[in-house]
Amino acid sequence: MARRPFVAGNWKMHGSSASNQALLAAALADGKRCAGVDVAVCVPFPYLAQAAGALQGSGTGLGAQDVSEHASGAYTGEVSSAMLADLGCTHVIVGHSERRSLHGESDALVARKFVRAMASTLKPILCVGETLAEREAGQTEAVVLRQLQAVVQTTSPERWAHAVLAYEPVWAIGTGRTASAQDAQAVHARLRAALATWGAPADAIRIVYGGSVKPGNAGELFSMPDIDGGLIGGASLVADDFSAICDAAQRTH
Ligand code: PGA
């Protein structure tokens, strides 16, 4: 099945009202130029309104980088899925490795956040990935399947068509090291097979790769049959690089 490629920028904790303007204008142009590619940017909470204004009415999606597991209430500092949808978000990242490792997010908490996003209009971008130690111990498959299964078993898998899965090997994030296209493809194929086994519409679900994707390696990664685009950190902060990666997604699909 032909899946539309998905390319999302993850700005992490970078940006300012002034510097965001050029990046948002470029992302808007990327979304228009790259017909057939779904482009989105995931910006820090304080800039969601600015980004929503800049991207309004365009095809470029807007994502947050995290969401509360709770619907509303006395949860100081938390942001609900309803608030994100209200601000115009289309997507939200759930379970990024930095949330898992630096903020102690467990598989179970990630699953609850995913369910919360699904209950609103947001499309969750669920991140899974192994650490270097886990890879070297031959545990890559076991780790990513455990992380995925924790989420699958708390949701109705048949509702997954709009979810995006991101395979992000932790050792490749922000390090300049990338999984080889073949290694990434093998993990993506395994994840897709598992989704099918669990009753999810596996052929329709975009599985994107993240971890030091740059203009120079995007084409090779995206030409793999089960790699449907990318979640882009560092390179999404350089407008020309992000544009080149969006172009690569269009060229290879
Ligand atoms: P990177 O980050 O592209 O800078 O490696 C990817 C991510 O963390 O989503």
Q: Is 31 in the pocket of ligand 1 (CB under 6 A)?
A: no
Q: Check residue 158 and give its pLDDT.
A: 85
Mutate to test the pocket of ligand 1, among 101, 131, 213, 242 (most ligand atoms within 8 A of CB): 213
pLDDT of residue 1: 57
Determine whether the shortest distance from the Cβ of 173 to ligand 1 is under 6 A: yes
10-residue mean pLDDT series, the chain (253 residues): 92 98 98 97 98 96 98 98 97 98 97 95 97 96 98 91 96 91 98 96 97 97 98 98 98 93
Q: Say if strands 123-128 and 91-94 run parallel, antiparallel, or are unpaired.
A: parallel
Residue 188: active-site member: no
Query: Would you say the CB of residue 229 lies under 6 angstroms from ligand 1?
Result: no
| Domains in the chain: ranges and CATH | 63-206+224-231+239-253 (3.20.20.70)
Q: Which amino acid is at 222?
A: F
Are the C-beta atoms of residues 90 and 61 closer than 8 Å to each other?
Answer: yes
Pairing of strands 61-64, 38-42: parallel
Q: Which of 130, 134, 168, 188 is catalytic?
A: 168
Q: How far is the CA of 209 from the centre of ligand 1 (A)?
A: 9
Cβ 212 under 6 angstroms from ligand 1: yes
168 is catalytic: yes
